[in-house]
Structures are given as C-alpha cells and as structure tokens.
A and B are shown apart, each in its own frame.
Chain A
Amino acid sequence: MSYVLAKSKDDAILEAGECGGAVTSIFKYLLDNGIVDGVLALRPEDDIYDGVPTLITDSQDLISTAGSYHCAPTMIGNIIQKYFSDKKIAVSVKPCDIRSIDELIKRHKIDPEKIYTVGLNCGGTVSPIVGRKMIDLFYDINPDDVVSEEIDKGQFIVELADGSEKGVKIHDLEQEGYGRRNNCQRCDVKIPRKANIACGNWGAEDGWTFIEINDDKGQELIDAAKKEGFIETKNPSEQSIEARSKVENIMIKMSKKVQNAKFGDAEAMDAWNRCIACYACRDICPICWCHENCELNKSYFKDDINIPPSPIAFQGVRLSHMSFSCIDCGQCDDVCPMDIPVSLIFDKLQKKYCDRTGYVAGVSDDIKPPLYSPDKVEL
C-alpha cells in the first residue's frame, strides 16, 4: 500500500474532471491501449441528478462521464455479475460497489482477473428526488440551475452556471430528514481499499487527485499510465496523508454514532405490516445473485404466502442467507415501493456477526464469510 498524487496530462480532461482528472485519464490509458474492452462508469442522462451506468468503448466519450455524481445512488456489482462476466472491463466503484464485487468474487460470480477497479472515496450519496427537494428548500435555488455538486468539509455544495457556489452543512440537512441516504449516514467504509486504487480529493493539493494504491495490479496501472504519458504523479506530503486520514476518521466516527442511534429501531419494526411481497429488495440485492433459484420461490414459502407476509418467514429467510455479507448499499431501501427501511436490519445483523466473528462484508480478507467455512471451529 502506498500513496501518490496524480493529475491528468490532457487539458480537456483536466477541465472536465474533478480535482486533477486522474480517474478519467487512467480509464483513457486502459481503453487506448486495448487493455480493457470497455469502461463502466456513470453518465448523466437527463440531468446531473440522473446518473446512469454506461459502457464506454471509445475513449473520446470518456469525458461525458467525468465529474462526481452524488445524486446517483447506483449499484454496479450485480450489473457486472449479470452482463459483464465474460468481458474485460474497467469500472469506477464507490466503497459499496467494490464491497459487492468482493462478495461476488468470493462466490465465484466475478473473475477478479477480468476487471480493473478504480475506487472513489465516498462520503455518501443523496437520492435524486430528495436532493432536488432539499436544494429547492434549503438553498433557495432552482435545482434545474445546478450544474454540479460535491460533498466537502461536511457540506453539500452546489455550483451554478455562473460559477457561484452555495453549501449547507450536511448535519443540518440530515436533522431535517434530508441529506444523504440513511444507509450512507450509517456507512463506515469510506475508502474502497479492495479496489486496485482508491482515488479522491481528501488531503489532496488543489488540482491533484490523491490515490491510495491498494495492490500490485493498482501499482502496475499507475506506473504504466504514467509511463505512457496519461498522468503525472508526485509524492504527497506528510500533512496531506494526515489530513486525508483525519477526514476518513471523522466520517467513520459520525457513522458509528448514527449506527448506535438507529439500530434499536430495527427491532419489532411495524413497517413490515405494509410489505406487499414484491421481492424488489431481493431482486435488487447484489449479494442475492441466485434469486432466480431462491428458497423464497419454493412452494413451501411461496404458495400460501400471505400479503403482508410474516416477516420471520420472508425477510428472516433472506437474512439467514446473506445478512452476514450485507454491504449496506441501501438498494433495498431505495427500491421498496412501501418505503420500508429494509437495509437497517440487514446492516445491524452484519455488524452483530462482525462483533462475533470479525468478518466485515466485502472488506475482510478471509476467503469466504466464516459461515461457509469447512473449518472445525465454533464462532
């Protein structure tokens, strides 16, 4: 593991990308040299609140994916597993994305040899509609006038076409029920250290991207992109490194506080009584890759199902299948038509499991979650 500061040597990318454009340039290196068939990244479709996963095969198009999209809470792990298992791709990943990829690698559903993962440090994401509402309410700005947004120094900051910026403290937004998604508020993995490299602006000098190189593949990638003239690099100062870890630690501390405050709500939650058994939570779950053959589809669970189903025989079954591998991506919350905070209980049980076994889903280096281990140990 080592640190490096990097920036693009391409002027157009420098202009369009966040803080140095190193990520876009690294993708350009991979595409131009034919190392990958495509780059899977987010591109704004209708507006900046509408980030959609897009496969880029021509490096000319990469520029359209440059920038940060905090209002696009997407999940990439299951997309790779379903549609890219046989292709060589590079992909930009938030911590929850790489954690899902890691869990799917453990389940032999993604081949780590075939993908390059470029991590993006993440302070959390905002649901697009919530984001628009809060910009309207707290910023007194028409959300359509916003050209870009970022999260920095505890603030959610929007930028207008004339270059002016306005920020509001995330803490204040979240007190009022806006701000980041609930699972992001709880999330204590802010730097994607299972990706080949983890990039961000925390601790970085202006105009540079701070990169943590996580493995040999990441090191080779940086060295080659530099050698081929796509990026330039320099060593970060001690203060840089310290500042970055300070940002990370503050955020983790805040998340732990939220966890302690919220986990109690999961117990005997009455929201289950409006469950319509639509299976959206299961079908979107990146860990539930085998949902086509799910035990919940077996006649003994499905045929005489009540609506709402008994939570123990519905979520209970899913919990027993994969809660120890829950990466708290919050997709189940996002897609639940009844707004049941599904991820809360899954995250809570993964943390309980972690307390007992030390296993953190998508982060721990164990080959498999210990539940699957053939070892003769009680845990």
Chain B
Amino acid sequence: MFEIKHTLCPSCSVGCGINVILDDGVVVGTFPYKRHPVNEGKNCLNGRNSIKSIDECVESDASVLKDVVKKLESCENDKVTVVFSGNNSNEDLDSIKSFCESKGYQILSYADNLRKFDTSVSYDDIENASNVFVIGNILYENPLIGRRIVHAKENGAKIYVNDDLENSPTANIADEFSSKSVKEFLEINDANFDDESIILFNKVDSFEDLDLFESTNSKILPVYSKSNTKGALKLVEAISKENAVELLNDTEVLLVFNDDIVNYIDFDFKSISTVISFSPYKNDTTEISDFVVPIKSWLESDGSFTNSADLTQEFSSVYESSQNMGIDEIINKINGEME
C-alpha cells in the first residue's frame, strides 16, 4: 500500500518538514511537504538523504543490556559520562536527564562549541531585517535558513558575510564579504548593529567569542547542527570543546545516546575503558563502542524537536518498529535491572 506521511527533518536545527513515502510499510522515498511553513516543500540533500540512514541499522540486539548494566554497576557513578545530544527528542532528553540526575552521572552537553542564547528570533525576522550579518557558510550548510537570507536581500537588506570560503553561495550573495576573525568582524561592524539587524552564525573561533554577541544591539540567531540542540540546551547548558575533552579525560564509562561524538570531537576515545552506544544506525561512534544497543529511529518514534527559531514541533512515527526499544523504555529497563 502506497502512503505519504508527514514528519520532521532530523538533519539540522532548521526544523524543516519532510514527507516520507511508504510502500507496504517500508520507507522508500521522500516527497515535498509544501504545506510546511518552515521550508515550503524544499529540502536540502542531507534532509532528503536522512531516510537513507535507516538502511544502516546496527546489528546487535538488546540482549547486551545486561552487560551494560553490569558495567554501570561496577563503575563509580561520577566516572560515568552521558552524551546529551540534540539528536534526541525533547521527551527522550527529559528521560536521559532524570536518569543522569538520579544516578549522579556526569552530563556532556556540547553544541558545536556554541551555547544557549536567551533570544528568540523567528525566520520571518531574517526576511524583514535591514542588515543581515552571517558567520559561516549558512547557505550551504543550513540552506533553508540560507533561503531566508536570500529573501532578505530581495527585500533590500544589506548582507555582510564573514567566512573562510570566498566563492561559496553565501559569499556570492554578500554585499560585503570578509574573512576576519569573529571578534574582529563584530568589532568592525559594531556601528551597524541595531534592532533592525540580525546576526546568524553556525560557528565561532572560540567559546569566549560567544559573549561578544550578547553585547551587540542586534538580534542573534545561532544555528546548531542538530535537530533538537535548542531543546537540549533548555535542559542542560552546553560546555566548550576544551571542557568536553577534559570531561572525557576523566571518564571511565561513556554512554552515548543517539549521537556520533567521535565524528566531531578530536579525542582518543579508545582511552576510555568502556564506550556504550545507543543508536539506530551505524556510525563512527558505534564502530569504536564496546557495546551497541539498537534503538528506535525518529521515524519510529513520537516526540518533538525545538528548532533554532525556538519553535517546538511535534512529529509522530511513520511506521511501527520491529522490535527496537525507545530511549525511555531502555532507561526504564536499566533502572529496573539496577535496583
């Protein structure tokens, strides 16, 4: 039976809608979700490829949970670190957070070396801004926010871009382009910042730079790489890359819930005595993990993501999971076994 179902794109924090096509209950393709207010049916390559990840299921089964529990019991609680990832829904993050708190585990909340900002900016604000300041190649990396910058330009805004790439799509739409340090870029443009302007960024040179944004008079919109980082940061504030590495140095058991930390933090993960990964798909982290527990993917779960513009959107499962458990079920099971 042919069906088209709505869901959210999990590939970055923009919060696009995406339709998936099912043939006899199997996901076979994507279809534009033109009714969705964030992206109007447009999805980038990462978004359309997000369904392909389900072809790369992890091979183990939940029976390894017993060994996981044994490992956790044999380790001092403050030597256990949990990766608190924006790949998880708000509901799953609640479960993970209370799990950590009840056990006294360390939480590693890392958000692209960015952190939480107490501003809320809508995507329409970008289109209506008078000046748009862009740090990073946002058109390429977060195209459906990039599109709003294109609209801003069409509406007469002046676009300032600071990035290392001179001929990127983002640089090409800039009225003024520079490749300075973030600090210098913000200093030079200080006079141009007002409440009609907006600064977008998906990276900075250092964690300390982040304080500089708050002293500008502009609206600011950090764009995170994961679908629910904004939601995660509401529960646990992010730490810098240096602090993340320090925490990993002090870790004996690392629990990774639905994340690929190996991919973006430069650290010798083999030096950690036990790495346990809960993941629906294979990734670099499951490859080096001592135990891999399969979990439901977002396509099989209900939940909500909070996007970069602070909009919380619900999604429901598009098909029934075969046997995998959700994160809350797994945590309940671990809790049950440990008592």
Direct contact of A and B (CB under 8 A): yes
CB pair A83 B23 closer than 8 Å: yes
Is A308 in the interface zone, CB < 8 Å from B? yes
Partner of A307, one of B29, B40, B140: B140
The residue in chain B whose Cβ has the minimal distance to the Cβ of A306 is B167
Are B41 and A338 touching (Cβ within 8 A)? no
B32 touches A335 (CB 8 A): yes
Does A289 interact with chain B (Cβ within 8 Å)? Answer: no
Q: Does A336 contact B (CB under 8 A)?
A: yes
Stretch at the interface among B1-9, B187-195, B247-255, B281-289: B1-9
Given A55-B2, A84-B2, A334-B32, answer yes or no on A128-B40 (Cβ-Cβ < 8 Å).
Answer: yes
Query: CB distance B35 to A50 under 8 Å?
Result: yes
Verify if A15 is at the interface (C-beta below 8 Å from B): no
Residues of A within 8 A of B1 (CB): 55, 57
**Contact partner of A276 among B3, B29, B143, CB < 8 A?**
B143
With known contacts A337-B144, A338-B139, A338-B143, A276–B34 Cβ distance under 8 A: no
Interface residues on A, range: 35 or more
Interface code B35-46, partner A: CB below 8 Å = 1, 0 otherwise?
A: 101011111110
Contact A337 B48 (CB under 8 A): no
The chain A residue with its CB closest to the CB of B170 is A274
Question: Using a CB-CB cutoff of 8 Å, which residues 18-35 of chain B contact chain A?
Answer: 19, 21, 23, 28-29, 31-32, 34-35
Within 8 A of B (CB), among A63-94: 72-73, 79, 82-84
What are the residues of chain B within 8 A of A273 when measuring CB–CB? 169, 172-173
CA distance A365 to B29 in the complex (A): 32
Q: Could you say which of A203-211, A279-287, A297-305 contacts chain B? A: A279-287
B146–A337 contact, CB under 8 A?
yes
Q: From known contacts A55-B1, A55-B2, A276-B139, infer whether A335 and B35 are also in contact, taking CB-CB under 8 Å.
A: no
Q: Which residues does chain B contribute within 8 Å of A306, judged by CB atoms?
A: 167
B35 and A339 contacting across the interface, CB-CB below 8 Å = no
A117 within 8 A of partner (CB): no
Q: A53-B4, A338-B139 are in contact. Are A129 and B169 (CB under 8 A)?
A: no
Indicate whether B147 reaches chain A with its CB closer than 8 angstroms.
Answer: yes
In the bound complex, residues from chain A placing their C-beta under 8 Å from that of B3 are 54-55
Which residues from B are CB-within-8-Å of A46? 6, 35
Interface residue ranges of A8-58 to B (CB < 8 Å)? 38, 40, 45-47, 49-50, 52-55, 57
B20 to chain A, nearest CB (A): 12
Asked whether B168 is an interface residue with its Cβ less than 8 Å from the other chain, the reply is yes
Residues in B whose Cβ lies below 8 Å from that of A336: 42
**Does any Cβ of A come within 8 Å of B245's Cβ?**
no
Residues A325-353 near B (CB distance < 8 A)? 331, 334-339
Interface residues of B in 299-336 (CB under 8 A from A): none
Contact of A54 among B4, B35, B37, B40 (CB under 8 A): B4
**CB atoms of A276 and B32 under 8 A apart:** no
**Does B57 sit within 8 A of A, measured CB to CB?**
no
Q: Which residues of A contact B140 (CB under 8 A)?
A: 276, 307
| B:164-218 near A, CB below 8 Å | 167-169, 172-173
Q: Is A157 an interface residue (CB 8 A)?
A: no
B58 lies within 8 A of chain A by Cβ: no
A275 contacts B by Cβ under 8 Å: yes
Q: Say whether B150 faces chain A, with CB atoms less than 8 Å apart.
A: yes
B34 touches A72 (CB 8 A): yes
Task: Assess A276 versus B43: contact at CB under 8 Å? Given A337-B146, A338-B147.
Answer: no
**Cβ-defined contact, B43 with A280, below 8 A:** yes
Task: List residues of chain B with CB within 8 A of the CB of A278.
Answer: 44-45, 48, 143
Q: Which residues of B are interface residues toward A (Cβ below 8 A)?
A: 1-4, 6, 19, 21, 23, 28-29, 31-32, 34-35, 37, 39-45, 48, 139-140, 143-144, 146-147, 150-151, 167-169, 172-173
The 4 residue pairs across chains A and B that have the minimum distance between CB atoms: A337-B143, A50-B35, A273-B172, A278-B45
**Contacts from A to B (Cβ < 8 Å):** 38, 40, 45-47, 49-50, 52-55, 57, 72-73, 79, 82-84, 127-129, 273-276, 278-280, 283-284, 306-308, 331, 334-339
Interface CB pairs A-B, < 8 A, 13: A53-B31, A73-B34, A79-B2, A127-B41, A273-B173, A274-B139, A276-B44, A276-B139, A278-B48, A280-B45, A306-B167, A337-B146, A338-B150
Beyond contacts A79-B21, A129-B35, A276-B143: 10 other A-B pairs, Cβ-Cβ < 8 A, are: A53-B31, A55-B2, A57-B1, A308-B169, A308-B172, A334-B42, A337-B39, A337-B44, A338-B139, A339-B147
